[in-house]
Structure formats: structure tokens, C-alpha cells
Structure 1
Amino acid sequence: MEVQIPTTTTVTSDTMAGSFDIVARQDAADEKITVLRSDVDEVKARLEKVGRAAARPAIAGAATVEPSAEVKGFVDGYLRRGRETEIKSISGAVPQDGGYAVPREIDVMIASELKEISPIRSLAQVVQVGSAGYRKLITTGGTSSGWVGETAGRPETDTPEFAEIAPPSGELYANPAASQSMLDDAAFDLEGWLASEVAMEFARAEGAAFVGGNGVDQPLGFLSSPTSLAGDAVRPFGSLQYIGSGDADGFDANPESRLIDLVHTMKAGHRQGASWVMNSSTLSDVRKLKTSDGAFLWQPGMVEGQPDRLLGYPVIEAEDMPDVAAGAFPIAFGNFKAGYIIAERSATQILRDPFTNKPFVHFYATKRVGGQVLDSSAIKLMKIEM
């Protein structure tokens, strides 16, 4: 007997098999998508971690970007809660000179921001010292050289002459304040805030001192150094050469010739890496100066982040430079890396003060900084005079 199987049964079975196959494929696709999303989230988390690590200043020899036990004890123990015992147990520190030396990582953050904010610091030669004083001998003459034959006698050289450089220094201080509620907030970046506030206050004070400081309990600014019209060969050591602007109240009819003369009073070796330094008011006047054929002397920076240029040399704005006025020195041109030295004691001291201005907590930061002209032939000035 022949059995007839309804065709509907076959169709239903095939349909169900196809449906199961579609569902299986969909589940597999969903699983793959879930895995991909998980991988993407993991990559994003890693990139964010790398980005946060890159935001920290690089520490030479550091094996990890995580805060050290010293930094954690200093920030969370001393700065947030005033517990001095945590600092002593970690580093054996004592409140010498009125405060604790900040950990190296925080000191590097302060130094990094200082360099960005303070224009002269970014140009000058900076040396770290362990004591209050710094001295350097500079050769000013003697030890002449010459040419001789292989077997010829060697004439006696001149007696060397030296000058001592001892940059005047002073105690630089800042006193930022935060409320106790800010310190109690675990999400508040106390380390970054303190470095930024201290660097800002330090930059304002030292920027003025590096330009016009009188050398009494502070650096000797380069504009406070003696000046002379004489050239490098005959000018007394330590005095800066200047040229006149050609007008008692500003610039004469041919300002480009005066600026070109100022550039070429400097030796070619020092011109490599030289910069113009002036404030924004003077720069406003300089940007309007034109050559005889109507071309502007000032050239804007072609790349973002690059300084503007004047006669091919970068222009650095330093607001502590004087304005254009009779007898003033509003424009400096120099290789400050060779011409000006900043000597500073590397450790910044911090003293936590929760009592003076309650409910605010002050952080009294101090640092010893000195500065002086190093090579007077590397910095030239323009004076507003006939």
C-alpha cells in the first residue's frame, strides 16, 4: 500500500529549517557585533588612558605614569588633609626653610607651565643649582691662537682674562588658596590646579624681573644692565650695545634701515637662534611699518603655533618691555640662550596654611631664582632717540 505524504508537511518542515537557519545566522551576527563593540570599547579605554598619560610631563627615568607613593602621600595626605606624618614616613622630609619640597613630578609640572607662560624663560639659558648661589667664569681675553709649522716653535699665548658671573637671586613666592570643600572633593585635580596657580604667579613676577629687575633680592634684568653705543670690540664687558631709532619720539622715516642695522650689530654666530622681544603695544606700531616700496616689514606666522617674524626672525611678546617713548628701550634683539642666564634652585617649597584666611586653605610656595646677562654681545637694544 502506497502512503501519500501531504505536501504541506514538507513545506512546513523546509520553512522551519530555513527559519532556524536565519535565526542562527542572526544570533551569530549579534554575537560578532557584541564582540566587536566590546573590542571597540576596550580600544577606546586604552586610548583614553594613553591620552591621560600623555598629558602628564615626561619624567626622565620614570618606569610608570602612575603617581608615585610620594606624590600620593604629598597630595592626598599633606595638601588635602594636612597630615605631615605621611611625608616624613615616605621621604624623611622636614619642613626646612618654611615648607616641604614638592615631589619631582609636581615640580616638573610647574616648570613646564612656567616655560609656556614666561616669555624670557622660554628663550634664556636655565640652569638648576642646589644652593642659593651660582657662579660662572667667562673668558674675556687672552689665550690667543695662531698657525705654526710642524717643527716651528710655539709662541707664548696671552694671559687669559676672566670675568665672574654671579646672577643676583631672590625668593620668589606665590600664595594660591582653595576652599576646604574643593580639597575634600576627590574628583578635584589638586595636583594640576596647584601647579597651574603657582606657575601663573611665578611667571608674572619673574617675567618683570628678567626684563627690568634691579638685582636687589631679585634677578638683574637685561634692561637694567649698563648700555653703550660702542661695538663689541671696545665696549666694557657686561654692557649692552644699542642704536638709536632716529626720532626722539618713535621711528624715523626709514625704520627698516634702523632695524636692519640692529640685526647686523650682532655677530653672525649669535644671529642663529636670535629673536625680537617687545610688548604688544610696540608690536602694534611695528606691524604698521613699511619699506620704501610699501611692503610690510612684519610677516605673520605661516603655521599655527609658529611665531610671527620681523626681517626673518621670530617676534616674542613680553608685556614687561617698555612702550615706545622718548629714552625708552622698547625693542630687544638677541640670542637669549647665549645672552641671558637663569639660575634657580630646583626644588619648590610648599607650606600649607589653613589658619590665616579661614575657611580657605593657602599654599605658600617659594622658589629661589636668579638671573643676569651672560654674554652682552648676544643681546642688542633699540633706544628711542635721535
Structure 2
Amino acid sequence: MAIDDKDVGEVAKELKGAFDDFKAKNDKELEAIKSEKSKLSGDVDKLNEKLGEIDKLKADLEKELKAAKRPGATEGKDVEAHQKAFGQFLRKGKNEDELADLQQKAVQVAVDSDGGFAAPEELDTALLEILRDESPMREVCGSIIIGASGYKKLVNLGGAGSGWVGESEARPATGTPTIAQLEAFMGELYANPQATQQSLDDIHFNVEQWLSEEVAREFAEQEGSAFLLGNGTNKPKGILAYAMDAAADKNRTFGKLQKLVSGVAGGFTGDNLIDLIYSTKKGYRKNAQFMMNTLTLAKARKLKDSDGNYLWQAGLQLGQPSTLLSHAVAENEDMPDAAVDANAILFGDFKRGYAIVDRFGTRVLRDPYSNKPNVGFYTTKRVGGMLLDSNAIKVLALSA
């Protein structure tokens, strides 16, 4: 929906009204006699669904407003020439020698051995922006852009030791600090969208925009799941693929996530969410948020505290997200459903806990031969993921 269709203030008022209706119906459902409960339950579910739609609309409008205010990049002559030559390459497959020279001047990379070309910086950056908007993981996690094929990071785990001594007493040696090396799990992501040569010949057809949007949709679906569930084999290793342990931070091996259990098979309570928050150290809680899918969030919206107040509160101001126990919620449909033993809820500072690693430079190989009369654009990019700090993210398993 375009910004002009509705402003954020109107949607915020609609969100407040929907939340008030939802609370009223849900309260009646809880108090209703058994014969009336079925009808009220259906009304509550419909209002809960509407509440989610309005909340998402507000968030989307805010993203669109932010994108409209984003300043454009400054471009040099070499970059502009590269963009123009790349556009001609996409449409006609011509000027490959000229494109190769301009590519080296503009982005300092050589022509790929399989004949592909690096997308111009503007297109590559636009692709990352679209992916960031499309992927919940890209919105909340840290991001690292590299120029090499892989990424490694050293982490100081401490352990030097210290002690108290008298003024004249000997100072015994202490332990040696432990240094761990973290390495991103990388993989190559590809898409092969097709366009007819007739459409490419049409000057009104924006081939660069079409390519970035087509590829972004395909990439977002694949990598969004991998950043959460990927096994690390030729793809990123996702958060939920790392080892887990019930022990607290000071007793748990670094690199293992702490897993709390709800005590309710397939369900959870407000107390479980509070335990999840306060199992996280204070330094991480400032920028922490929940992550769950839409159905799990619908269950969370019905939770109340001991005074009858709802734990979920609607965000009614521009830039203010709806919150659960005062923390934002990232909706991610790749999260497991609320079922028995499911790791259905995450909480933490995802920027400090998990990093998405992008190798700068999206490659495009033009193929007019394999699927005539269509022209294929075999597009690849190298991307990875890694758990940075296993103390920053906590997991709630819905187990008895």
C-alpha cells in the first residue's frame, strides 16, 4: 500500500480501536458461560487476526516512509558508465569487452571465469535493501559485508584470572585468557529468472528493477529459512541449528544457546516469557526483542498479568512498535509453530548474537540459448551466517 493511501496516524487509531475491541471480546470469552463460548471464541480469533493485519500495515507504512527519505548515493563517472553498460548487457548481451573494462574501474573486480559480470553497486545495494525489507532476519540481525570468500572473527572468552594479595606478598601467575575463533558458514545462493527478448527490447521495461526484485524475492525465501534453520552445509548455519543447553551463561560452554522449557507441552505462559527475558543479562536486554511466528504471537496477545492487564500492547505512535512485556516482536514465519517440544520463541539482542555475512558483488550470467525465446539471468551471490555471541539469544521450548 502506498504512503498516500493511509498515513501512520490513521492506522494507529485503527490499531487502538481494534485492540480495544479485541480486549473486550477476549474478556467476555474468559467470563462467558460454556454455551456462549464458541461464538465469542470465533469473534476473538477474527479480531486477533485483524489486529495482526493492522499492526503489520503500520509497520509497513513506517518502512515505506523511511525508504522514501533515504538519500541517494553519490556516483562517479566510472560508476555511471558501468551502470549504463550493464543495462545494455542485460537487454542486448552486447559490449562485453567494454563492460569488463568499466567493471574493473568501477568496482575493482575482475570478470568471473564463467563469463558472468558483477552487478553495479547501485543494483547490488538495492538488492540488499530489498532483502533487508523482505527478510525478518536481515531486519534484526547484524550484517557484515566482505570482499573475500569467507569470514573469521576472534573472540576473547576471558579467563586471565586475578586475586588479592598483601603489599609485600608474592604475586603468583594467573591463567591465560582464552581466545576462540568463529567462522561464518558460507554458501552460494542462485536464482535464474527468465524474460522474453521482446520485453527486454521495450525501453519502458526497467530490466534492472525487475531483476533485483525477482532475485530478491527468491533469495529472501531461501536465506530467511537458512539464517534460522540452515544446517551449515553449503548454506548458512541458522540460530536454531546450534547446540543448546539448559545451563546459565556462567556454566554453559560458549557457542551453545541457553534453552528454557515452558513446563507446558505445546504451550507457554506469561511467566515463561518473563523468565526468558531475565535469563538474559542486563547488557543484552536494552536492545532485545522476541521472535516468533504469527500464530504464536496470536497466543501471546491473549496473555494477561495477575492484575488483568494484557502483556501485549499496541504501538500507537510513529516509530513505536507494538510490544510484548515492553519488548518489540519480530514476526518470522520460518519460526516453528507452537507445538509440543517446539523451539517456538526466541528472545535476545539479535544484532549482537547473530551476523549475516554478505560477499559484496552480485554476479549475473546472461543466457539467451538454454530456454528460447526466453533470456535467462543466472544470478549468484555468496552469503553466510554465524552465531557471534551465544549469551545474547535465548530459546523457549514448549515442553512439559
| Structure 1, unpaired ranges of 5+ | 1-52
1:148-167 deviations in whole A, cap 9, x for unaligned?
Answer: 99999977553010111111
| Equivalent position of 1:356 in the other structure | 370
Q: Of the candidates 93, 118, 126, which is equivalent to residue 143 of structure 2?
A: 126
TM-score (norm 1): 0.79
* Distance of 1:111 and 1:152 partners within structure 2: 60
Deviation at 1:314, TM superposition (A): 0.6
Q: C-alpha displacement at 1:88, in angstroms? A: 2.2
Query: Structure 1 172/145 Cα, relative in aligned 2: closer, same or farther at 3 Å?
Result: farther
Aligned to 1:136: 153
What's the secondary structure of 2:83's corresponding residue?
Answer: helix
Number of the residue aligned with 2:122: 105
The secondary structure found in structure 2 opposite 1:172 is: strand
Select which of 338, 342, 347 maps to 1:328.
342
1:337 equivalent in structure 2? 351
Query: 2:90 matched to which residue of 1?
Result: 79
Superposed CA RMSD in Å reads: 2.5
Deviations 1:307-335 (A, max 9, x none): 32111111011111000111110100010
Alignment partners' CA distance in 2, 1:109 and 1:149: 62
Deviations 1:166-213 (A, max 9, x none): 111111111222222221111111121211111111111110000000
CA offsets, 1:254-313, max 9 Å, x none?
x11110010000011011111111111111111122223322211122235643211111
Give the TM-score, by structure 2 length: 0.76
Q: Partner of 1:114 in structure 2?
A: 131
Deviates more, 1:331-340 or 1:148-157: 148-157
User: CA–CA distance in 1 between the matches of 2:204 and 2:309?
Assistant: 54
* Partner residue in 2 for 1:96: 113
Q: What is the identity, as a one-letter code, of the residue corresponding to 2:81?
A: A
Contact in 2 for aligned 1:102/1:347 (Cα 8 Å): yes
Distance, in Å, in 2 between the alignment partners of 1:88 and 1:232 is: 52
Of 155-164 and 255-264, more deviation after overlay is shown by: 155-164
Q: Any gaps of 5 or more consecutive residues in structure 2?
A: 1-66, 105-109
Look up the match of 1:49: none
Q: What is the rounded CA distance, in whole Å, between the counterparts of 1:56 and 1:197 in structure 2?
A: 22
The DSSP-based 3-state class of the residue aligned with 1:282 is helix
CA distance in 2, matches of 1:150, 1:354: 82
Name the counterpart of 1:319.
Answer: 333
The counterpart of 1:162, out of the listed 179, 193, 196, is 179
Residues 345 and 233 (structure 1), Cα distance of their counterparts in 2 relative to 1, 3 Å cut:
same
1:283 is aligned to 297
Counterpart residue type for residue 380 of structure 1: K
Task: Report the 3-state secondary structure (helix = DSSP H, G, I; strand = E; otherwise coil) of the residue aligned with 1:284.
Answer: helix
User: Is residue 269 of structure 1 aligned with residue 283 of structure 2?
Assistant: yes
Cα contact 1:74–1:86 (8 A) shared by 2: no
| d(CA) in 2 for partners of 1:63, 1:90 | 12
Q: Which has the larger radius of gyration?
A: 1
Aligned partner of residue 290 in structure 1, secondary structure: coil
